[in-house]
C-alpha cells in the first residue's frame, strides 16, 4: 500500500475507534444528546473527533447503513442480444411497513434504544486476519439487527410483527440494449429491499448469454460452420447457407473455378452483432466444412474412371530400395498417441 494511502487509512481507523469509544460511554453520549458536538467537545479535553462527519462519511449519517444492492443473473439468448429486449416481470421485495412507518411498534409506542449498541445500530468488533494479527471493524448490531431500537413483543406492530418491513410484489421493466454482452449489468435504481432509515439499493441484473445452436459470438463478431458438399467445394454453389438471428436467410454465391477447402474461412462484413452505440455491426465468419460422400456412392468401374480423369492424379511415386505393404486401422484417435 502506498505511504499516503496507509496514512489515510490509519487516520480513518483511529478516528472510527475514537468515535466508537465516545458512543459507548454513557456520560459522553449524554453530553452529545444534550448539546450536540459542541457540548461534547466542551466536556472533553482537547478537540474530540467529529462524530457527525465521521459517520456521515462512512454510513451516510446516523440514519444507518446504505441499502444493499440485489444482484442476480438474467439469462438471455443470442437472438435477444442481437435484437434488444424489453422484459416485464414481477419481483418480490421488502418495503417499509405503512402501518408502523418502519418503527416495528404499535401506534403511540416508542421503541427503546438497544442496550447492547447504545442505540447506534452498530458495534465495534475484532476480526482475526492472520496469525497474531487482528483488526477492528464496525458491524451492524446483531441484537437489534442494526436498527438501534428494540420493541417488546406485546408492543410490536401487528402487520409486520416488529420486523419493520413487509413483502410486496411489484411489476418492473428492464430494457436490454441490442448488442449487449455477457456480464453487462442492467440496473433498476432504488428497487431493492427497503430498510427504514436508509436509501434503497438497486436491483442489478447481470446478463448471462446462452449458447446458440449455430452461431458463436466473439466480441462483436459471429462465427458459424459452413457445411458444403464435395461437389460444392469443387464446383461452387448459390444457396441460402444459414438463418440469421433476426430470421433473415443469408444467401451466398460461390462461382465455379474457386475451390473451397476444409478449414477455409469466409468473412461477411456487417453481419455480426450490432454495437450498443451507433449502427455499426461486427462481421460474420464462416468456417468451411466439406462433407464427403458415403462409402460406395460410386457404383460402377466407369464412375471411378470418370472421377479419376477429372481430378488431379497422384503425386510422383516414392522410390525406395525396399517397400513393405502395411495394414492400418480406420478412425484412429491422434489423442491416443504417446
Confidence of residue 63 (pLDDT cuts 50, 70, 90): very low
Confidence of residue 251 (pLDDT cuts 50, 70, 90): very high
User: Looking at residue 215, what is its pLDDT?
Assistant: 97
Whether the Cβ atoms of residue 95 and residue 198 lie closer than 8 Å to each other: no
Tell me: pLDDT of 239 over 90. Answer: yes
The Cα–Cα gap between 155 and 166 comes to 17
Confidence of residue 31 (pLDDT cuts 50, 70, 90): low
> What share of the chain has pLDDT > 90, as a percent?
49
Choice among 265-269, 322-326, 332-336 with the minimum mean pLDDT: 332-336
DSSP string, 123-166: EEEEEEEETTEEEEEEEE-TTTTTSSEE--GGGB-TTTTTSSEE
Tell me: pLDDT of 11 over 80. Answer: no
User: Looking at residue 253, what is its pLDDT?
Assistant: 96
Q: Is the model more confident about 43 or about 238?
A: 238
Q: Could you report the per-residue pLDDT of 275-314, keeping only the tens digit for each?
A: 988 778 999 999 999 999 988 888 888 888 888 888 888 8
User: Looking at residue 197, what is its pLDDT?
Assistant: 77
Q: Could you report the per-residue pLDDT of 180-218, keeping only the tens digit for each?
A: 999 999 999 999 999 887 889 999 999 999 999 999 999
Q: Is the model more confident about 23 or about 329?
A: 329
User: Looking at residue 304, what is its pLDDT?
Assistant: 85
Pick from 64-73, 125-134, 143-152 the range whose average pLDDT is largest. Answer: 143-152
The Cα–Cα gap between 321 and 315 comes to 19
Tell me: pLDDT of 40 over 90. Answer: no
Q: Could you report the per-residue pLDDT of 107-128, keeping only the tens digit for each?
A: 888 888 888 888 888 888 877 7
Q: Is the model more confident about 141 or about 221?
A: 221
Tell me: pLDDT of 76 over 70. Answer: yes
> What share of the chain has pLDDT > 70, as a percent?
80
Give the number of other CB atoms < 10 A from CB of residue 248. Answer: 11
* Cell numbers given for 60: 451516510
Which residues have C-beta within 8 Å of that of residue 213, sequence separation ≥ 6?
none
Tell me: pLDDT of 7 over 70. Answer: no
Q: Give the position of cell 462461382.
A: 255
Tell me: pLDDT of 61 over 50. Answer: no
The Cα–Cα gap between 25 and 61 comes to 19
Mean pLDDT, to the nearest integer, of 6-28?
Answer: 59
User: Looking at residue 224, what is its pLDDT?
Assistant: 97
Domains of the chain in sequence order: 3-59 (no CATH), 216-310 (2.60.260.20)
The Cα–Cα gap between 298 and 307 comes to 9
Amino acid at each position: 500500500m502506498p505511504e499516503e494511502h496507509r496514512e489515510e487509512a490509519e487516520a480513518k481507523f483511529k478516528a472510527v475507534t475514537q468515535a466508537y469509544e465516545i458512543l459507548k460511554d454513557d456520560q459522553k453520549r449524554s453530553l452529545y444528546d444534550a448539546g450536540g458536538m459542541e457540548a461534547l467537545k466542551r466536556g472533553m479535553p482537547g478537540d474530540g473527533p467529529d462524530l457527525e462527519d465521521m459517520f456521515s462519511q462512512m454510513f451516510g449519517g446516523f440514519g444507518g447503513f446504505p441499502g444493499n444492492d440485489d444482484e442476480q443473473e438474467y439469462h438471455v439468448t443470442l437472438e435477444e442480444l442481437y435484437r434488444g429486449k424489453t422484459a416485464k416481470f414481477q419481483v418480490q421485495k421488502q418495503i417499509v411497513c405503512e402501518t408502523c412507518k418502519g418503527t416495528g411498534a404499535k401506534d403511540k409506542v416508542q421503541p427503546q434504544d438497544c442496550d447492547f449498541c447504545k442505540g447506534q445500530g452498530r458495534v465495534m468488533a475484532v476480526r482475526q486476519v492472520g496469525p497474531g494479527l487482528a483488526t477492528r471493524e464496525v458491524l451492524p448490531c446483531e441484537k437489534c439487527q442494526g436498527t438501534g431500537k428494540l420493541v417488546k413483543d406485546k408492543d410490536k406492530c401487528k402487520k409486520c410483527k416488529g420486523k419493520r418491513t413487509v413483502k410486496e410484489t411489484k411489476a418492473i421493466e428492464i430494457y436490454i440494449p441490442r448488442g449487449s454482452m455477457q456480464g453487462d449489468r442492467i440496473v433498476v435504481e432504488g428497487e431493492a429491499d427497503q430498510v427504514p432509515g436508509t436509501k434503497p439499493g438497486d436491483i442489478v441484473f447481470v446478463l448471462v448469454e446462452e449458447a446458440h445452436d449455430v452461431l458463436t459470438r466473439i466480441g462483436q463478431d459471429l462465427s458459424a460452420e459452413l457445411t458444403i458438399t464435395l461437389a460444392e467445394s469443387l464446383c461452387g454453389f448459390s444457396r441460402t447457407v444459414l438463418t440469421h438471428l433476426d430470421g433473415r436467410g443469408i444467401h451466398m454465391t460461390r462461382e465455379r473455378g474457386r475451390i473451397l477447402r476444409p478449414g477455409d474461412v469466409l468473412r461477411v462484413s456487417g453481419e455480426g452483432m450490432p454495437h450498443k452505440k451507433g449502427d455499426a455491426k461486427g462481421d460474420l465468419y464462416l468456417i468451411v466444412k466439406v462433407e464427403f460422400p458415403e462409402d460406395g456412392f460410386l457404383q460402377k468401374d466407369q464412375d471411378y474412371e470418370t472421377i479419376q480423369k477429372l481430378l488431379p492424379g497422384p503425386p510422383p511415386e516414392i522410390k525406395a530400395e525396399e517397400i513393405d505393404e502395411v495394414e492400418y486401422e480406420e478412425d484412429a484417435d491422434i489423442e491416443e498417441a504417446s
